[in-house]
Amino acid sequence: MLDDRKLAVLRAIVEDYVSTNEPVGSKALAERHNLKVSPATVRNDMAALEEEGYITQPHTSAGRVPTDKGYRLFVDRLSQVKPLSAAERRAIESFLAGAVDLDDVVTRTVRLLAQLTRQVAVVQYPTLTRSTVRHVELVPLNDRRIMFVLITNTGRVEQRVVELPEVVDEARIAHLRAVLNACLDGCGLSSVPELVADLPERLAPEDRPAAATILSVLLETLVERHDEKIVFAGAANLAGADFATGLRDVLEALEEQVVLMRLLGETSDTPSALTVRIGAENPYLRGTSVVATGYGSGDNQLARLGVLGPTRMDYPVTMGAVRAVARYVSQILAAS
């Protein structure tokens, strides 16, 4: 366990290296920071930190840089996450509040995170299976074709064109719409299959074929892998960043939805927690850091969002931005 003085030296090394991207020497630390000890003591503390694996010397006669272990301790011992200014909070709220639908919310969120953190922002669409039904709409297109629309409490809109087995007039379509909404309104999507299992048998014989076809489309919609839809922005922020894995590997990972989903999904066993994984803690993309959290309300965590970047990251600022944006997105979706 490091004493407070060595922790202060490590904190100073991390802050200077993140700021300058240059290895940090003992003389520079003594000059820039009020460590209240001599340069010789700082050198001794740096030697102890290096021996314990918290910092390393990239080149002979160069200063020191933090290791993954050093960044980990720095993050774990953060006294506070840097809060956003009042102006930044107002700008976030105004920018996100202007969204017109869920796609717009996600697009604005990922752009905003990339701008605030100067990293790559990643946002997962709300998990469909954790949503509830807000409304089902059946829109006649002609006498044997309708548009089936499923709207969730998170603003997700799923629509399919349904070919009916027979001609069905608008009055019967309206009746089926009313029955479906009465049955499913407010229902969790994971419970839909059980609720609609015997629904056709409860309808008049002439409505059963159309109802069975519509329900089949509904169930197909629910089993599709919507949970893997993810978007990112800010790849240009990676220019000039140093990655142990190489920039090419990072760019290829951004194109792989599965990798991004794993990076977000494995950041925490507690979806609502703000979590940080550093370097080798990211088995799918070593040499990067991921800061992520869930968004949603209470226990109803809908999905995750966060940022990906090099281990040389301004963790206090990044963590504050991710937490704040997630909170505003949760509020917007809860009010929609």
Q: Does the pLDDT of residue 12 top 90, yes or no?
A: yes
Closest by CA position to 129, among listed 23, 259, 27, 222: 222
- Domain 86-125+229-335 listed as CATH 2.60.40.1120: no
146: β partners: 140, 162
Task: Please write the tens of the pLDDT for every residue from 259-272.
Answer: 777 777 765 556 56
pLDDT, tens only, 126-142 = 876 677 888 999 999 99
Domain ranges of the chain: 4-76, 86-125+229-335, 129-226
Looking at the domain 129-226, which fold is it? Enolase-like; domain 1 (3.30.390)
pLDDT tens digits for 18-71?
A: 999 899 988 888 888 888 888 889 899 999 999 999 999 987 777 899 999 999
Beta strands 145-152 and 230-233, pairing class: unpaired
- Per-residue pLDDT tens digits for 77-88: 887 778 888 888
Q: What's the whole-number mean pLDDT along residues 224-249?
A: 76
Tokens of 289: 């850091």
Highest mean pLDDT among 39-53, 82-96, 240-254, 280-294 belongs to 39-53
- Tally Cβ neighbours within 10 Å of residue 133: 22
* C-alpha 253: how far from chain center: 16
At the topology level, CATH places domain 4-76 in Arc Repressor Mutant, subunit A (1.10.10)
The structure's pTM equals: 0.78
Residue 220: pLDDT over 80: yes
Percent of the chain topping pLDDT 90: 40
Concatenated DSSP letters of 162-185: EE-SS---HHHHHHHHHHHHHHHT
Q: Which residues are bridge partners to 161 per DSSP?
A: 147
SS3 150: strand
